[in-house]
Structure 1
Amino acid sequence: MKDSQNNEVRLEDILNTTPIAVSWSSLSSGRIEYINKAFSELFGFVLGDILDTESWFLRVSPQPEYYQNVIAPWIDKYRGYASAHDLSATLFCKDNSVRHINMCFSTIGDKQFWYFNDITDHWVAEERLRARSDMLEMVAKSSALKDILNVIVKQIQQESPLSLCSVLLFDKDEQCLRLGAAPSFPDVYNQAIDGVKIGLNVGSCGTAAYLGQRVIVEDIYDHPYWADYVQLARQAEVAACWSDPIMSSKGDLLGTFAIYKRFPSTPAEKDFELINFASNLASIAIESFRAQEALQKRAYFDHLTELANRGYFFQQCETLLNESIEENYPLAILMMDVDHFKKVNDEFGHKIGDLVLQMLAQMSLSILRRDDLIARIGGEEFAILLPFTEKDEALRIAEQLRESIESSMVLSLDHQEVFFTVSLGVACRQDGDCTVDDILNKADKALYQAKAAGRNCVFLAMPQSNTLF
């Protein structure tokens, strides 16, 4: 007996020197009888924390189903064998951190020996490489920015399963943050933060964007940055938020990347590494998207007014006209022309003429609906596509445009007030209209009727004749 005890002591001493986490349990009782030093260092548990194999696995599994569907069937498969093949698994440590391990067990008499090899660093490196590769492939294929950002967010949440992440995009014109990606947050939260102005005490993200530096809030319910957003945090069931500003390669603010926790939490060194990785990846995605957006804008939009150009307008018209015919929904087109525009250029100069066109574009955009499309198709000529629009609504919009533009003005170089007006022609899709040219020609004829009638008015193209509105 004494020799047996001495052998057991020597075995424990040997196992305590190995860098691999080892434990053994009794087959008859299921109780875990020994864990080595590497096991405690890896998972944070001491022998007194755990009773038996099943309860420990249930405690460290991401969900109860993980043990039932993955680990338990694997144990049953190799029950009675001298040793089991490796199983890769994701397990929680005592401090709720996550470890990715390869594990196996062997059976000697009444003892079942367990071996856990930590592969977390290798797993993280491979997953980050895969996420970066997937993201770059999506960028190359011009995927939607939201889809690209969702890939990044899900990768971070996979590395840190107890975290919720979000990406907010900086709107420079409005000085606010727009929702980029936050797939795990409730709609009520996403709607509330979409469009929030940046500034001090505007949560973690609004403050990080305003200061241009990382903001760590370990307890949302006891921090001045969140004083006005406590109820919102309760609705989202979050209690900590660490937010990093996403910066471009030129140092411009692009947005924020945030990691949220369900409980008050202090970030560890690996958390800082994780948020750095996420912010850098998001920066690449956003910069690439905006570069493509800028190229697309130059290809499809008028540089002066920033409205759609002729080519893009006709392309969209073809698509929507075909849809309206197939689905039998109404569609209207307006042709709009600045009255006596040559006189404005001759009297005040082309620079003021440009201001007139820019003002017209701004006024039009403020009136038109989200799905409407306005384009500059000539010097002072504009076309407007109104999907899902009947005749009466098209005329109402045309008259509203005319009145608003009539009351607007720009200042000349010598501060004179320069007023201008427009004439508009309106055409609606009829059963016989099968091409964009058919409707545009009718709207164009109505426009010339408006000009012939004295300008600054709206004409409707009718099947037999044109009628003044």
Structure 2
Amino acid sequence: MKDSQNNDVRLEDILNTTPIAVSWSSLSSGRIEYINKAFNELFGFALDDILDVETWLLRISPHREYYQNIIAPWIEEYRSDVSAPDLKATLFCKDNSVRHIKMCFSTIGDKQLWYFNDVTDHWVAEERLRARSNMLEMVAKSSALKDILKVIVKQIQQESPLSLCSVLLFDKDEQCLRLGAAPDFPDIYNQAIDGVKVGLNVGSCGTAAYLGQRVIVEDIYVHPYWKDYTQLARQAEVAACWSDPIMSSKGDLLGTFAIYKRSVSAPSEKDFELINFASHLASIAIESFRAQEALQKKADFDHLTELANRGYFFQQCEVLINKSIDDHSPFAILMMDVDHFKKINDQFGHKTGDLVLQKLASMSLSILRRDDLIARIGGEEFAILLPFTEKNEALLIAERLRASIESSMVLSLDHQNVFFTVSLGVACRQDGSGTVDDILNKADKALYQSKAAGRNCVFSVEGSINFRF
């Protein structure tokens, strides 16, 4: 081809001006004979880096099965056609970055002309919009927080296939990080980081939470932040970690989002953009979940003592009684009442009475076991559910409660020592079945026996309940 100045204009020169990545290969040998400038800029490969179409496509495919199951059948199907329809593919560049490509080829004689159109930005925008929509739907449906965070982690790992990601949640009371979601880390790693204290030199996440700013560790094995955790990193087979603090809309720490790499790595601008998106999405999820949790707590818990309320207690009793029937397991219910509570209110005032109830609640929680449930079901009346508990053990727990509360006190508003005691009634389900009301009535009768006996004591009604199936 010649122009008006009689100079040769080669096809290569024309293709070098197009923004679309183009190459051509020999149909007979498969060898790639030409790549344009856009091809080099997109994939990072020079012509000397590439042998033939199959070898190169295998090299840039996420894994061999991807090439064999998706790309190779497409090439074979349209090999003899003049042109092939677009194929959407996920491919790796020379620097291991990921590109989402629409590619096709045309056959002209012995040549195959290949076109590669980078649609990564469009793909990322669509995927992030979908991830955000899915997350908000899960929040609206009150899905478990761990499931919501897992969706976010999987989305980021899909966008960055050579990464492993984790979300840790900040426990303000314990000043530590709890496992939120890290679905592709080994159990030994997740168990080790669950509960790690926030502080300087506590890996990338503990340090990011402590400093309240992003921490980039390009090489775990030489960085002082990871000095005490290199063995753990080896077990997880990771070599770099970039961690971002997850902050609430009010600036409070919610947790951390971390991107790990299996080789020593520095983040690119796109990586910074990705971790910003991930942290923001996780922040929305955690804040939304905690807002719902707070509303639920208001519905299920007593505002003064922060114990369960009557409705929640009965709900949990129904659940446990059904489980108890299925498992043939015992449980006990205690009824507890503050002795002469009206006198305390009359003598010291209602605010002191409130302090007594709060003290009783905190003392009880310090004695009861993790699976036990205590609820405020009336003014000064409390009920306690003891799962998998026989009668003798229930009586011992009741006596520990009575003795501990007897030895406690609160200060009135005028700084007087206010001592108080409780009476308790115990009822147990040993065999058969009964309604919650049946067992509560039995515990209530035992409580009245305690009061009749002079208060500040524990009683259990003798005899059995007529359980109904």
Per the TM superposition, whether the score is higher than 0.5 is: yes
CA distance in 2, matches of 1:119, 1:296: 44
Q: How does 1:113-128 map to 2 (within 5 A)?
A: 113-128=113-128
* 1:410-429 to 2 correspondences below 5 Å: 410-429=410-429
**Match of residue 97 from structure 1:** 97
Question: Does residue 236 of the first structure (1) align with residue 236 of the second (2)?
Answer: yes
Deviations 1:173-206 (A, max 9, x none): 2221111111111111111111222111111111
**Paired residues for 1:288-299 under 5 Å:** 288-299=288-299
Counterpart position of 1:285? 285
The alignment's TM-score, normalised by the length of structure 1, stands at: 0.93
The question of whether the paired residues in 1 share the 8 Å contact of 2:325 and 2:433 is answered with no
Counterpart in the other structure of 1:14: 14
Instruction: Choose 70-79 or 284-293, whichever is displaced more.
Output: 70-79
Let me know the Cα RMSD of the aligned residues. 2.0
**Which residue in the other structure is 1:372 paired with?**
372
Q: 1:447 corresponds to which residue?
A: 447
Counterpart residue identity of residue 80, structure 2: G
- For residues 175 and 292 of structure 1, the distance between their equivalents in structure 2, rounded to whole angstroms, comes to 23
CA distance in 2 between partners of 1:334 and 1:272 (Å) = 56
Confirm whether residue 352 of structure 1 aligns to residue 370 of structure 2.
no
Q: Write the letter of the residue equivalent to 2:269.
A: E
Q: Is the 8 A contact 1:339 1:423 kept in 2?
A: yes
CA distance in 2, matches of 1:377, 1:206: 41
Partner AA of 2:64 in structure 1: P
- 2: CA distance between counterparts of 1:133 and 1:198? 32
Q: CA deviation at 1:8?
A: 11
Task: Report if aligned partners of 1:314, 1:436 keep a CA contact under 8 Å in 2.
Answer: yes
Quote the offset at 1:439 in angstroms: 0.4
Note the alpha carbon deviations across 1:9-67, whole angstroms, 9 max, x for none. 71111111111111112222221111111111001111111111111111111111111
TM-superposition CA deviations, 1:317-342 (whole Å, max 9, x none) = 12221232234222211111222323
CA distance in 2, matches of 1:304, 1:55: 70
The yes-or-no answer on 1:192 pairing with 2:170 is no
Give 2:361's aligned residue.
361
Which residue pairs with 2:3 in the alignment?
none
- 2:439 maps to a residue whose letter is I
Distance between the aligned counterparts of 1:379 and 1:151, measured in 2? 44
Percent identity of paired positions between Structure 1 and Structure 2: 86
**Cross-structure match for 2:313:** 313
1-side partners of 2:71 and 2:435: how far apart? Answer: 63
Of the structure 1 ranges 394-403 and 158-167, higher mean CA displacement relative to structure 2 is found in: 394-403
Which residue of structure 2 aligns with residue 146 of structure 1?
146
Offset, 1:401:
2.3
Q: Which AA in structure 1 matches 2:56?
A: W
Q: Distance in 1 between matches of 2:235 and 2:416?
A: 55
Alpha-carbon shift at residue 393 of structure 1 (Å): 2.6
Q: How does 1:375-414 map onto structure 2 within 5 Å?
A: 375-414=375-414
> What does residue 60 of structure 1 align with?
60
Once residues 410 and 246 of structure 2 are traced to their aligned partners in structure 1, the CA distance between those partners, rounded to angstroms, is 38
Partner secondary structure for residue 24 of structure 1: strand
For the 8 Å contact 2:207–2:215, the answer to whether it is kept is yes
Q: Could you give the per-residue CA deviations for residues 381-423 of structure 1, whole angstroms, max 9, x where no partner exists?
A: 1111122222233223222322333333333345444333322
Deviates more, 1:348-357 or 1:103-112: 348-357
SS of 2:250 mapped into structure 1: coil
**Which segment drifts farther, 159-168 or 407-416?**
407-416
Aligned match of 2:182: 182
2-structure distance, mates of 1:207, 1:381: 46
Structure 1: distance between partners of 2:329 and 2:77: 61
- DSSP-derived class of the 1:121 partner: helix
Which digits, 9 at most, give the CA deviation of each residue in 1:116-172, with x for residues without a partner? Answer: 110000000000000000011111111111111111111111100111111111112
Q: Distance in 1 between matches of 2:60 and 2:338?
A: 71
2:460 paired with 1:463 = no
2:342 & 2:196 partners in 1: Cα distance?
Answer: 44
CA distance in 2, matches of 1:309, 1:92: 57
> Which of 318-327 and 107-116 deviates more?
318-327
Corresponding residue number in structure 2 for 1:3: none
Classify 1:283/1:24 alpha carbon distance in 2 versus 1 (closer, same or farther; 3 Å): same
Task: Quote the offset at 1:84 in angstroms.
Answer: 1.4
Query: In the alignment, is the contact (CA less than 8 A) between 2:102 and 2:118 conserved in 1?
Result: yes
1: CA distance, partners of 2:58 / 2:219: 29
SS class of match (1:17):
coil
Rate the CA distance shift 1:7–1:363 in 2: closer, same or farther, 3 A. Answer: farther
Q: Which moved more, 1:389-398 or 1:21-30?
A: 389-398
Structure 1 residues 250-265: aligned runs within 5 Å = 250-265=250-265
Residue identity matched to 1:439: I
Instruction: Determine the C-alpha separation between the residues in 2 that align with 1:121 and 1:291.
Output: 33
Letter in 2 for 1:60: I
* 1:332/1:427 contact within 8 Å kept: yes
Secondary structure of the residue that 1:184 maps to in structure 2? coil
Structure 2 residue runs without a partner (length 5+): 1-5
CA contact (8 A) 2:245 2:255 kept: yes
Residue 332 of structure 1 corresponds to: 332
2:149 and 2:368 map into 1 onto residues whose CA distance is 30
| Partner residue in 1 for 2:129 | 129
Q: Aligned partners of 1:188 and 1:352: how far apart in 2?
A: 49
Equivalent position of 1:222 in the other structure? 222
Correspondence for 1:272: 272
Distance, in Å, in 1 between the alignment partners of 2:222 and 2:345 is: 62
After the TM superposition, which of the residue ranges 91-100 and 448-457 deviates more from structure 2?
A: 448-457
1:409-462 Cα offsets, whole Å, 9 max, x none, are 333345444333322211112556431110000011111112222322222233
Answer whether contact 1:433 1:439 (CA < 8 A) is retained. Answer: no
* Inter-CA distance 17–440: structure 2 relative to 1 (3 Å threshold): same
Give the C-alpha shift of residue 306 in structure 1.
Answer: 0.7
| Helix, strand or coil at the partner of 1:238 | coil
Aligned-pair CA distance for 1:7: 12
Give the residue type in structure 1 aligned to 2:343. K
Q: 1:228 to 1:414 in 2, by over 3 A?
A: farther
CA distance in 1, matches of 2:83, 2:7: 22
Residues 1:93 and 1:8: Cα distance change in structure 2 (over 3 Å): farther
Q: Distance in 2 between matches of 1:182 and 1:24?
A: 43
- TM-score normalised over the length of structure 2: 0.93
2:109 counterpart residue number: 109
Gap regions ≥5 residues in structure 1: 1-5
Say which is worse superposed, 317-326 or 198-207, in terms of deviation: 317-326
Give, in angstroms, the shift of residue 369 of structure 1. Answer: 2.5
Q: Which residue of 1 aligns with 2:173?
A: 173
